[in-house]
Chains A and B, each alone.
Chain A
Amino acid sequence: MKLELRKIQIKDVVFGDKMEVNGGVLTINKDQVVAKLMEDHRVKEIKIDLAKPGEKTRIIPVKDCIEPRVKIEGEGKGFPGVTGKMVPLGDGKVNVLDGAAVVTIGDIVGFQEGVVDMWGEGAKWTPFSKTFNIVVDIIPVEGLEPHVHEETVRLAGLKAAEVIGEAGRYAEPTNVEVFEMGNHAEESAKYPNLPKVLYVEMLISQGLLHDGYIYGVNSQKILPTLIHPNEELDGAVISGNCVAACDKITTYQHQNNSAILDLYAEHGKTINFLGVILTPELTTLEGKFRTCDYTAKLCTMMGADGVIVSEEGYGNPDSDLLMICKRLEKAGVKTVLITDECSGWDGMSQPLADTTKEAVAVVSAGNVSHVVTLEPADKVIGSAKAISTLAGGWDGSLSEDGSIKCELNAVIGATSEIGYHNCTVKLY
């Protein structure tokens, strides 16, 4: 399988009559995007705005972030199984609007949406302060049932990324990243002495605002499954706008999964990267046993010497994470976990909801309850008041002067458990 991600570096974004990239400037025809999204009868109104790095702009409540792309060679238009015809992904050439992101907002569906600040203190905590953001505000028709509301905004975001991605169809890439891997027999023959490594990506799969999707299939409904890393990099996995903002894996972060990229970088040098196992995090005990046993079995079946496991969310999925770890370590597979912590405002509480002695190698992506103060914005896209009901906010989070005091819980991507961001925890 060979995937070329042809990165077109975006240096600015403006509205205009065309849909194109010229000299790194992305021009967006607003009407064209709105018209496409209004095709869904469940959408009442679409508003589009721009937020650029360094501007004193706050975006809230953010549901998902998506990277706009267009496939110029090979199969797969949009997100197969979701917004496009079902085809296998992972092969071909993709033009990527590198440095741009579609960011969806709109009325709160659950409480799991978040904030993105483009400047100052807030910008430090979210990776999406560094992207040129095309903010799509989706106002659905009245009376939608919550699950339908969530699906409507989810699909609108993906479609927006698809339409905007078209702007890059004829642009020349600034650099081309090639991801190529043969089948296991070939790779193992090429690298007989390198340790075999798998990546287990856990996906929260627990209902409204808590589901991940693989080729459009709700991860709640699957057994853990093996996927080629190229498929995920090519858009096979999307977010259901799930989990607290700080550690939801947005669609953008699936498209650019840092754990996959960092393992790929070592493939053929220090490791033989075997692939990705997507594992649902279920709510029932029986479900947890089934998926954790099955995940460990897939790893041992594949002959993995080492595994990285990343979590999504916190609380009960901590148990899944540690159950997988325990099974792998007992089978002699060296395991590294990536998680975040709930150690309270003061950082004095125990960090996880579960514990196991086998978890000896853990990367911490930060304390979700770490409190930050975000200075007043010049411009708010969306509604600053939303902070009072979001996970990580509270009544009184928003001050009269417009500043916000909240936990990292409410900041998009702050404690990314796929290790997309730089936060960690130090013992003081």
Chain B
Amino acid sequence: MSNPFKVLYYVNQFFGQVGGEEKAGIEPFYKEEKIGPAAGFEALLEGEGTVVGTLVCGDNYFNEHNKEAFAFIMDTIKAAKPDLVVTGPAFNAGRYGMACGEIAAKVTEELGIPTLSGMYIENPGLDTCVSKVIVVSTPDSAAGMRTALPTMAKIARKLAKGEELGAPEVEGYIPQGRRLTVFSDKRGSKRAVEMLLARLNNEAFETELPMPQFDRVDPALAIKDLSKATIALVTSGGIVPFGNPDRIQSASAQKWGKYDVSAAAALKGAYYTIHGGYDPVYANETPDRVAPLDVMKTLEKEGVIGKVYDYFYTTTGTGTSVGNSLTFGKEIGAELKAAGVDGVILTST
């Protein structure tokens, strides 16, 4: 039999048996012992894993001295080299939940060690970690320890062994927001007909795609004097130099490109589109129809705008995930900001 996997456990002052609210200010400490829920947790691993030690920190200390707390916690974990880090369960305790969530997320992200936590669905700490960490769904108070720990132990054994987890409702963890493509036993049209019949008969039904929530961005302040401003041209229309040197995808872009247009009067003659989502014939004739460098250069010459920025930025919009778009936007935005660009003409298709 292989060696039992090593678990490092994190609890707050209360579950660390230091004290209640009056002890919430204590600094973090580490003991190579099984403190509080860690003992029961280890028993539930049935010999497959062992708790090598418990980190304890006051809830107030963690939230008020976040940097110092993290320095100690991360150093401790690095030194202990556990196979898995477990935080909580925090139930509906807000400050404890924040600590459990932040620690679990950081350990996974920075150290690449699997982490596991447990929280009530409304715990504010959930938002800090749920997309990166498996969080077991628990009742709202510590009375739920008896149901939370066995579920956490069961999942811990799978995580430590690198086994794939089943669906959230089957395993008992809170959905991470990952939309995974799977097969249904019925084709889509049949499911649609059944959903419609349920609606027509006023019976219960469940949508397969809850509507997304969109974020809102406040517009930047207006440019006061356009004739002194540097304007950059950015497009999601898939306009690239002939040959597509950076191999930007025709759909579902994974990257963007930037090209020096400081000496060009137009894109025509050197650029074309690799975008798979619209009729490319007219864009290939004159790529400036999608990204109007020609007009911008004319406006520059006429003094309407101060300068067209030297680089043109491009990617493909069709089928590109919002996650990738956010990344591209932040990367391109940072470059333009650093280059002192005042405004951007952003064209789609």
Residue of A nearest to B284 (CB): A146
CA–CA, A359 and B195, complex, Å: 13
Task: Decide if A420 is an interface residue (CB 8 Å cutoff).
Answer: yes
Q: How far is the CB of B131 from chain A (nearest CB, A)?
A: 6
Task: Decide if A383 is an interface residue (CB 8 Å cutoff).
Answer: no
Pick from A266, A408, A420, A427: contact of B193, CB below 8 A.
Answer: A266
**Contact A389–B250 (Cβ < 8 Å):** yes
Pick from B167, B195, B214: contact of A361, CB below 8 A.
Answer: B195
Q: How far is the CB of B34 from chain A (nearest CB, A)?
A: 31
Residue of A nearest to B279 (CB): A207
Query: Which B14-64 residues have C-beta < 8 A from chain A?
Result: none
**Contact A357–B211 (Cβ < 8 Å):** yes
Give the number of chain A interface residues (Cβ < 8 Å): 90
Task: Decide if B113 is an interface residue (CB 8 Å cutoff).
Answer: no
> Given A351-B212, A391-B250, A428-B178: A209 and B187 within 8 A (CB)?
no
Q: How far is the CB of A49 from chain B (nearest CB, A)?
A: 26
Task: Decide if B216 is an interface residue (CB 8 Å cutoff).
Answer: no
Task: Decide if A315 is an interface residue (CB 8 Å cutoff).
Answer: yes
**Contact A314–B167 (Cβ < 8 Å):** no
> Given A336-B195, A344-B323, A348-B177: A210 and B278 within 8 A (CB)?
yes
**Contact A259–B189 (Cβ < 8 Å):** yes
**Contact A344–B324 (Cβ < 8 Å):** yes
**Contact A422–B187 (Cβ < 8 Å):** yes
Total A-B pairs, Cβ < 8 A: 243
CA–CA, A428 and B130, complex, Å: 11
Pick from B176, B179, B319: contact of A409, CB below 8 A.
Answer: B319
Residues of A within 8 A of B280 (CB): 110, 146, 208
Pick from A112, A305, A338, A408: contact of B200, CB below 8 A.
Answer: A305
> Given A208-B280, A342-B252: A426 and B200 within 8 A (CB)?
no
Q: How far is the CB of B283 from chain A (nearest CB, A)?
A: 10
**Contact B192–A363 (Cβ < 8 Å):** yes
Task: Decide if B199 is an interface residue (CB 8 Å cutoff).
Answer: yes
> Given A210-B278, A422-B186: A343 and B321 within 8 A (CB)?
yes
CA–CA, A369 and B247, complex, Å: 18
CA–CA, A111 and B244, complex, Å: 14
**Contact A424–B188 (Cβ < 8 Å):** yes
Task: Decide if A101 is an interface residue (CB 8 Å cutoff).
Answer: no
Q: How far is the CB of B216 from chain A (nearest CB, A)?
A: 12
Residues of A within 8 A of B1 (CB): none
CA–CA, A355 and B215, complex, Å: 11
Q: How far is the CB of A361 from chain B (nearest CB, A)?
A: 5
CA–CA, A352 and B247, complex, Å: 26
Pick from A111, A206, A308, A313: contact of B196, CB below 8 A.
Answer: A308
Task: Decide if B168 is an interface residue (CB 8 Å cutoff).
Answer: yes
> Given A146-B281, A368-B319, A423-B183: A334 and B178 within 8 A (CB)?
no
Task: Decide if B318 is an interface residue (CB 8 Å cutoff).
Answer: yes
Residues of A within 8 A of B260 (CB): none
**Contact A259–B278 (Cβ < 8 Å):** no
Task: Decide if B306 is an interface residue (CB 8 Å cutoff).
Answer: no
**Contact B207–A362 (Cβ < 8 Å):** yes
Contact with B along A250-279 (1 / 0, CB 8 A): 000000001101110110001100000000
Residues of B within 8 A of A210 (CB): 278-279
CA–CA, A210 and B282, complex, Å: 14
| Among A262, A266, A352: residue with most chain B CB under 10 A | A262
**Contact B323–A351 (Cβ < 8 Å):** no
**Contact A343–B179 (Cβ < 8 Å):** yes
Pick from A147, A206, A307, A389: contact of B278, CB below 8 A.
Answer: A206
Q: How far is the CB of B168 from chain A (nearest CB, A)?
A: 6
Contact with B along A342-358 (1 / 0, CB 8 A): 11111111111001110
**Contact A244–B319 (Cβ < 8 Å):** yes
Query: Which A271-301 residues have C-beta < 8 A from chain B?
Result: 271, 283
Residues of B within 8 A of A208 (CB): 279-281
Contact with B along A310-321 (1 / 0, CB 8 A): 100111000000
Residues of B within 8 A of A359 (CB): 207, 211
Residues of A within 8 A of B163 (CB): none
What is the interface of chain B, defined by CB distance below 8 A to chain A? Answer: 131, 167-168, 175-193, 195-197, 199-200, 205, 207-209, 211-214, 247, 249-252, 254, 274, 276-281, 317-324
For the complex with contacts A344-B324, A407-B319, 6 further pairs of A-B residues with Cβ separation under 8 Å are: A111-B251, A244-B277, A338-B188, A343-B321, A422-B188, A424-B208
- What are the 5 tightest A-B residue pairs by CB atom distance, in nearest-first order? A207-B279, A419-B188, A344-B321, A419-B189, A391-B251
